[in-house]
Structure 1
Amino acid sequence: MDFLLSGLAACGACVFTNPLEVVKTRMQLQGELQARGSYQRHYRNVFHAFFTIGQVDGLAALQKGLAPALVYQFLMNGIRLGTYGLAEAGGYLLDSNGNHSPGRSAAAGALAGVMGAYIGSPIYMVKTHLQAQSASEIAVGHQYKHQVFPPQSWKLALVSAMVSSLAVVFTMTPFDVVSTRLYNQPTDARGKGLMYRGLPDAVMQTIRTEGIWGMYKGMGASYFRLGPHTILSLFFWDQLRFLYQKHNQ
């Protein structure tokens, strides 16, 4: 669970910070191996870079490389934080007296970081290539012509659904938990619930007894259900609409 929660948390943050990563990549490649003042500066500062990229490449360009960035964040942070969490849970960070050992913590953190970075490095390279892609008038660095998914690919739709599902699941899981418990509670002879008096009572009892994270039980399962469910619903809707239109021609 540590791996999953760590990876999902990093992906959620990545959706909002990826535009800054695009800007950072472009500014770092600008003037590569060229003396200061001998090249055209397309991006004068962070704010000018945001404006220039949005104006020339379009606002969507500020999210270039998002798909590999999400995979990278999930792998790197999931492995890094998850591995460290396992080491902590296993008692490997304690010395022979049972006290917390700073040295062991540093070693475990370094090892977990190396593992995450090593496994995620190939994805990071693809992300960098995609984020550097731009129109010729503001291009910096070498321009790779990678394309993760064709524009009409079902894979693109699936990735988009999985990304958007992060926000949906985070917002809806507490309500889903409460509705599940209300539906599943035992009832008396008149059908009245024996555990909860209603939605507010279910929320308060859950938080009071299980803590705020009790409202997010099953979030991982909800996330991995919602993305495929969304794309499959759209796929079947599109196919049924096509068959209906073909039948009526």
Structure 2
Amino acid sequence: MSASSKKSPPQQIPKVYKFLFGGGAGMAATLFVQPLDLVKNRMQLSGEGGKAKEHKNSLQALRSIFRNEGLTGIYTGLSAGLLRQATYTTTRLGIYMTLFEHFSKDGKNPTFLMKAGIGITAGGIGAFVGTPAEISLIRMTADGRLPADQKRGYTSVFNALYRIATEEGVLTMWRGCMPTVGRAMVVNAVQLATYSQAKENLMRTGYFKDNLFLHFVASMISGLATTTASMPVDIAKTRIQNMKIIDGKPEYKGAIDVWIKTIGQEGFFSLWKGFTPYYFRLGPHTVLTFIFLERMNKLYATYVMGNSSAGGGL
């Protein structure tokens, strides 16, 4: 058979695999960082409503979890964390990679502003899809800090979703959807755009090649920028999704109400409460997600498409 008659291998990874690889990478990363997500949520809820702070720092929160809930307590809410990645991250990374490819023209990547716009779009859609798993995760990780008579006692994310829908109404699964979507738009605009841009800029220096070390450095830069920008939105989301209805009235009217009450009762910098566990959760999660994703894309391109020179696709 002549070379001209051979069927050329496809030049792009099929869209369905972009989504599957995105979700798979996020779920794999969550297995490593779930304990940090738990500590971050506990820190953000500590001192809520003007009460005395339960945890002064992340180490104290971690010791409290070990003491009161045991070794397995640090993985409370894992099923919800995995479902969140299966919905939210599958959607956001799949859409981002698809749009990134669409707007790459003549071998040139999209501009930074275009990357940010793609990230906003991908994050907003992904967050809406992932909100039910998100609210289950918040409640499951918060349960251990409540008195025995106030614990919700969800046995799994599916039990949480069923009980939320039957006890509080289906729409409750999208409670806090607006701050969740807002946070995701901020996170993805910063995270995905800075990661892609950091990769480009680092490679231009001539000191980096498209390899594991480059992905690690770009991910850490992305994680720091994302943590700083997104924490105020994240704390509003966390408190709204965990709030109870008291005498028929919700504790908070919305994200702005959370910020006003939080700043008034706990100070301005409380909007970055839990920064350390948030960064040490988001940083490694960003690193691991992008590394897993880049490797999945690279392996598919090499062994399925027959293109060993292909990059990771971000």
TM-score tier by shorter-chain length is 0.5 to 0.7
Q: Is 1:25 the equivalent of 2:37? A: no
Structure 1 residues 129 and 217: CA distance shift in structure 2, 3 A: farther
Does the 8 A contact of 2:137 with 2:157 survive in 1? no
Structure 1 residues 31 and 143: CA distance shift in structure 2, 3 A: farther
Cα distance, 1:8 vs. partner?
1.0
Structure 1 residues 4 and 26: CA distance shift in structure 2, 3 A: same
Does the 8 A contact of 1:6 with 1:78 survive in 2? yes
C-alpha distance in structure 1 between counterparts of 2:22 and 2:298, whole Å: 17
C-alpha distance in structure 2 between counterparts of 1:114 and 1:126, whole Å: 19
Cα distance, 1:12 vs. partner?
1.1
Question: RMSD over aligned Cα, in angstroms?
Answer: 3.1
SS of the aligned residue for 2:55 comes to coil
Alignment: residue pair count: 149
1:228 corresponds in structure 2 to none
Does the 8 A contact of 2:100 with 2:110 survive in 1? no
**Which is further off, 80-89 or 53-62?**
80-89
Does the 8 A contact of 1:130 with 1:146 survive in 2? yes
1:92 corresponds in structure 2 to 103
2:56 corresponds in structure 1 to 44
Query: AA paired with 2:128?
Result: Y
Give percent identity, aligned residues only.
Answer: 27
Does the 8 A contact of 1:23 with 1:46 survive in 2? yes
Does the 8 A contact of 2:91 with 2:125 survive in 1? yes
- From the CA coordinates, give the structure whose radius of gyration is larger: 1
1:146 corresponds in structure 2 to 154
SS of the aligned residue for 1:134 comes to helix
Q: Is 1:8 the equivalent of 2:24? A: yes
Structure 1 residues 212 and 135: CA distance shift in structure 2, 3 A: closer
C-alpha distance in structure 1 between counterparts of 2:96 and 2:298, whole Å: 23
C-alpha distance in structure 1 between counterparts of 2:65 and 2:88, whole Å: 28
Structure 1 residues 100 and 30: CA distance shift in structure 2, 3 A: same
Query: What is the TM-score with the length of structure 1 in the denominator?
Result: 0.52
Structure 1 residues 20 and 81: CA distance shift in structure 2, 3 A: same
Does the 8 A contact of 1:93 with 1:105 survive in 2? no
Choose the corresponding residue for 2:71, options 59, 84, 102.
59
Does the 8 A contact of 1:79 with 1:112 survive in 2? yes
C-alpha distance in structure 1 between counterparts of 2:99 and 2:301, whole Å: 27
Cα distance, 1:44 vs. partner?
2.2
Structure 1 residues 5 and 217: CA distance shift in structure 2, 3 A: farther
C-alpha distance in structure 2 between counterparts of 1:216 and 1:61, whole Å: 41
For structure 2, which runs of at least 5 residues remain unmatched after alignment?
1-16, 160-296, 305-314
Does the 8 A contact of 2:95 with 2:122 survive in 1? yes
Q: Deviations over 1:93-113 (max 9, x none)?
A: 44xx88544243322221111
C-alpha distance in structure 1 between counterparts of 2:104 and 2:19, whole Å: 18
Cα distance, 1:74 vs. partner?
2.1
Does the 8 A contact of 1:129 with 1:143 survive in 2? no
Q: Deviations over 1:157-216 (max 9, x none)?
A: xxxxxxxxxxxxxxxxxxxxxxxxxxxxxxxxxxxxxxxxxxxxxxxxxxxxxx972699
C-alpha distance in structure 2 between counterparts of 1:217 and 1:72, whole Å: 30
C-alpha distance in structure 1 between counterparts of 2:85 and 2:158, whole Å: 23
Does the 8 A contact of 2:136 with 2:157 survive in 1? no
Structure 1 residues 53 and 217: CA distance shift in structure 2, 3 A: farther
C-alpha distance in structure 2 between counterparts of 1:6 and 1:65, whole Å: 21
C-alpha distance in structure 2 between counterparts of 1:93 and 1:106, whole Å: 14
C-alpha distance in structure 2 between counterparts of 1:76 and 1:108, whole Å: 15
Q: Is 1:213 the equivalent of 2:299? A: yes
Does the 8 A contact of 2:47 with 2:54 survive in 1? no
